[in-house]
Amino acid sequence: MTTVNEQLLDLIKENHLTYKKVQIKDHTVSYFETGEQHKDTLLLIHGFGATAIDFLPLMKHMRELHIISIDLPGRGDSTMNERIYTPAEIATWLHNFVTKIGLKNFHIAAHSIAAHYMFDYASKYDVISCISLDGGYMSPKHVEGYSLEHEIEQTKSFVDMLAYDTEADYFAEEESIGKTFEEALIDRRLFVTKGEGLEYTLSPDMAANFVIGAKDYPNQKVLKKVKQDVLILRSDLPEEINDFRANEIKDFTDIKPATVMIVKDSTHSVYITQPEITATYIKNWIENQ
């Protein structure tokens, strides 16, 4: 019987991905790469509850591009030997990575909270354009009844629940909620082995620190410094918060003009629920830059 790691390696190979790691000072950065380097380059940055391989459904529809999908600190084999929590700190971390591998003339696409990291990066360093995958424009402060303390508490409780007695228990639960084996295998990278069981890759306190680090974002001062063109691919499900989404995007575009496209019938993870449509928007955008 093949192991989970062997099955994951097979999935990577089948989809023409190369898994790489680089050492930067005292920490490791892991990432996936696919496509020919002479083509247009796209750097993908995943959100909070994900790793670099979560973009696989999207990458399957973007063979025309050279793609690098990076594991953020504490995910995959990317280590957290430094205090790297705020968008500004992660932007510096990203710049060190980009410099290390000699990446130039590229676009960035970032999901959810990672869009804050992208905009902070673009406000300081060279990048052709920014593509927000339903992120970077919403402020939780505008949600009625919101409090940072409650979000921190919820985050810690959520991470505490992400544990399994055995790997078999993990795959059984993924199957019970309708995940395909491939989706479960992708999600498996969010966990580390502890004895016979699995635990979430981030501790509750580390996870909370990412929330605290982004508490003042979207940051108007940062957005005003972003000179690159911006594309926002916005979800439309659940429908009951579409008015809120529209208001938040208006607040964003009043500060930083952007092209906004609604990805029909998509949830927050637009690149998973509508990967082909999302890929088409991205490819058309890059082609016209």
Instruction: With respect to residue 41, please indicate whether it lies within any of the assigned structural domains.
Output: yes
Each residue's pLDDT tens digit, 86-114: 999 999 999 999 999 999 999 999 999 99
Distance of alpha carbon 275 from alpha carbon 205, whole angstroms? 32
Radius of gyration of the chain (CA): 18
Q: What is the mean pLDDT of the chain?
A: 96
Confidence of residue 80 (pLDDT cuts 50, 70, 90): confident
Judged against a pLDDT cut of 80, whether residue 225 lies above it is answered with yes
Range of the domain at 38: 4-141+217-287
Pairing of strands 66-70, 106-111: unpaired
Instruction: With respect to residue 249, please indicate whether it lies within any of the assigned structural domains.
Output: yes
Q: Looking at the chain, how many residues does it have?
A: 289
Instruction: With respect to residue 131, please indicate whether it lies within any of the assigned structural domains.
Output: yes
Judged against a pLDDT cut of 80, whether residue 83 lies above it is answered with no
Instruction: With respect to residue 280, please indicate whether it lies within any of the assigned structural domains.
Output: yes
Distance of alpha carbon 217 from alpha carbon 222, whole angstroms? 9
ω into 238 cis (within 30 of 0): yes
Instruction: With respect to residue 84, please indicate whether it lies within any of the assigned structural domains.
Output: yes
Among 82-86, 175-179, 244-248, the minimum mean pLDDT is found in 82-86
Instruction: With respect to residue 211, please indicate whether it lies within any of the assigned structural domains.
Output: no
Average pLDDT rounded to a whole number, residues 33-49: 96
Distance of alpha carbon 87 from alpha carbon 71, whole angstroms? 15
Confidence of residue 85 (pLDDT cuts 50, 70, 90): confident
Quick one: pLDDT at residue 144? 86
Instruction: With respect to residue 79, please indicate whether it lies within any of the assigned structural domains.
Output: yes
With 0-12 / 13-18 / 19 or more C-beta atoms within 10 angstroms meaning exposed / middle / buried, residue 288 is exposed
Each residue's pLDDT tens digit, 132-159: 999 999 998 888 899 999 999 999 999 9
Report the domain count for the chain. Answer: 1
Instruction: With respect to residue 13, please indicate whether it lies within any of the assigned structural domains.
Output: yes
Average pLDDT rounded to a whole number, residues 179-199: 96
For position 265, which CATH number holds? 3.40.50.1820
